[in-house]
Amino acid sequence: MDTDAFPPRIMFILLPSVVCILIAFLTKSGKRLIANFNLETYTYLHSVRIGVEIVLYYLFVYHLVPESMTFSGRNFDILAGLTAPFIAYFGWNKGKISKRWLLIWNWVCLLMVSQVVITGIFSAPSPFQQLAFDMPNTGILHFPFVWLPGIIVPVVIFGHIVAIKRLSQNLKQPF
Distance CA 141, CA 120 (A): 11
- pLDDT, average across residues 133-146: 74
Between residues 43 and 133, the one the model is more confident about? 43
Q: Is residue 79 included in any domain, yes or no? A: yes
CA–CA separation, 96 and 116 (whole Å): 30
Say if 68 falls within a structural domain: yes
Mean pLDDT of the region 93-117: 93
Average pLDDT (85-111) is 95
Model confidence pLDDT, tens digit, residues 48-66: 999 999 998 999 999 888 8
Q: What percent of the chain has pLDDT over 90?
A: 49
- Give the closest residue to 146 by CA, choosing from 5, 7, 9: 9
Does the pLDDT of residue 174 top 60, yes or no? no
Task: Identify the pLDDT of residue 173.
Answer: 56
Q: Where are the alpha helices (DSSP H) in the chain?
A: 11-26, 28-35, 39-45, 48-61, 78-86, 99-123, 147, 153-172
Is residue 70 pLDDT above 90, yes or no?
no
Range of the domain at 109: 42-126+133-172
Residue 5 lies in a domain: no
Is 122 among the domain residues? yes
Q: How many domains does the chain have?
A: 1
Whether 144 is in a domain gets the answer yes
Highest mean predicted confidence (pLDDT) among 1-5, 28-32, 101-105, 147-151: 101-105
In this prediction the pTM is 0.84
Report the pLDDT value the prediction gives residue 163, as an integer from 0 to 100. Answer: 95
Indicate whether 25 belongs to any domain: no
Q: What is the pLDDT of residue 175?
A: 36
Answer whether residue 98 shows pLDDT above 90.
Answer: yes
Check residue 86 and give its pLDDT: 97
- At 17, the pLDDT band (50, 70, 90 cuts) reads confident
In a domain, 3, yes or no: no
Confidence band (pLDDT; 50, 70, 90) for 7? low
User: What would the mean pLDDT of 67-87 be, rounded to a whole number?
Assistant: 91
